[in-house]
Amino acid sequence: MSQTRRLFQRSPILCHLFHTPSFHRTYITMPVTIIAAKPATEAVKGNFRYIGELAESHLLSYSNSTADIGVNLTDAVFRGFHHGRKKHDDDFEAMLERARAAGVRSMIITGGSLHESREALGLAETHGLYATVGCHPTRSGQFDKFRGGPEAYLKALDELLEKHKQGKGRVVAVGECGLDYDRTHFASPETQKTHFRSQLALAKKHHLPLFLHSRAAHKDFVSILQEEGFGEDGGRSVGGKGGVVHSFTGTVEELNELMNMGFHISVNGCSLKTEANLQAAKAIRPELFMLETDAPWCTMTSTHASKPHLDTLPASLRPLYFPPATKPEQFLYGRPVKGRNEPCAIGGVAWVIHKLNGVPFEKVTEKAWKNTVELFGLEELK
């Protein structure tokens, strides 16, 4: 057995890549730096540094690196639970390994509630990632139901922010907060607006960027931001530090209004569903552009307008960004689960933006990384 073959068999992800013909044709003939042998169990657990060293050896040099600024790693689906039922083994570490192999340099774990924010911070600290702290608009009713009332809930968020602004696994944004009028059965517009304002106050107090959500509520969303001092330059005049409107699905006109207010815009698979979505994504200013997956949600599918662009993805990159998946009932450790989006798929989102704008692929990922570092102060995964 060759050294190269043995090298690949030490990781379930790379072992799969080794047996992918297109990847084999592209890379196995390349000169590589052989990494010191490591126990197979270490690879199975998802050793980030091991995969990173492989990438640095140019074995994976064709993949382009960036950050996933919005990923829901607290979701139980990454632990094998689907719709509340255990369907397969926990494969959280294998998912992280796939992300690292696909060039994901850092991630921000989204906090969608007080409980989730605590979980996100714990995961961020353990895995060298980052987190947001806040309450999603559809869960804003939790403020009123919390023991001690809205003031106690807000105080708990405030204390989390204060405690975790420094050090490993730190918080980098307030959110996910905003308005969602598509799902008012979870929380009324009035409830959402009240607690959106209170979280904007936290962003000003702690001088942190915002991680924003806006769905079918643009007029009220913008009005509240303006009333709270975020109408221009991302609210810096009132202590804010800008922010990003994530998972953007609005119109070009809405996009321009948000960018003129000084906010960054992030796209994922859901941002590329329709032709109108594609036109908006194409109009994002390079200096305000970011990438995300919103995993395990917002999978790119064959019904999306992005499909013709995604179909041009080189065969050699497909196993990195979209490895063959299995159904939960046929789970195989080291392979993704069908229907569950993962951070490794961020390269597919970047590829569509590359095709829309005619900008070199590596420029798309580099610019997204640069913008992310400038706003959130991220560092690469260790």
320 neighbors 97 (Cβ within 8 angstroms): no
- Identify the pLDDT of residue 40: 33
- Identify the pLDDT of residue 50: 35
Q: What is the DSSP string of 100-116?
A: HHTTEEEEEEPP-SHHH
Residues 6 or more apart whose Cβ sits within 8 Å of residue 351? 309, 310, 312, 313, 317, 321, 361
- C-alpha–C-alpha distance, residues 125 and 184, integer Å: 34
| pLDDT tens digits, one per residue of 291-335 | 999 999 999 999 999 999 999 999 999 999 999 999 999 999 999
Residues 6 or more apart whose Cβ sits within 8 Å of residue 77? 296, 337, 340
- C-alpha–C-alpha distance, residues 37 and 234, integer Å: 49
What pairing do the DSSP bridges indicate for beta strands 243-245 and 264-267? parallel
Q: How far is CA 1 from CA 4, 8, 59, 268, 319, in A?
A: 8, 11, 18, 41, 23
* Beta-carbon count within 10 A of 182 CB: 12
Burial of 209-238, coded b for 16+ CB within 10 Å and e otherwise, reads bbbbbbbebbebbbebbeebbbbeebbeee
- Identify the pLDDT of residue 98: 98
State which amino acid sits at residue 336.
Answer: P
3-state SS, residue 182: coil
Counting as low any pLDDT under 70, the low residues of the chain are 1-63, 380-382
3-state SS, residue 72: coil
- Identify the pLDDT of residue 59: 39
Q: What is the DSSP string of 310-365?
A: HTTS-TTTHHHHS---B-GGG--TTS-BTT---GGGHHHHHHHHHHHHT--HHHHH
- C-alpha–C-alpha distance, residues 132 and 117, integer Å: 7
**Angle at the Cα of 324 (from 321 to 327), degrees rounded to 5?**
125
Which CATH superfamily includes the segment(s) 65-376? Metal-dependent hydrolases (3.20.20.140)
Q: For the chain, what is the radius of gyration of the CA atoms?
A: 21
- Locate tokens 């919103």: which residue? 294
- Identify the pLDDT of residue 54: 37
CA-nearest of 129, 204, 143 to 171 is 129
- Identify the pLDDT of residue 6: 38
Residue 50 burial by Cβ neighbours in a 10 Å radius (0-12, 13-18, 19+): buried
309 neighbors 355 (Cβ within 8 angstroms): yes
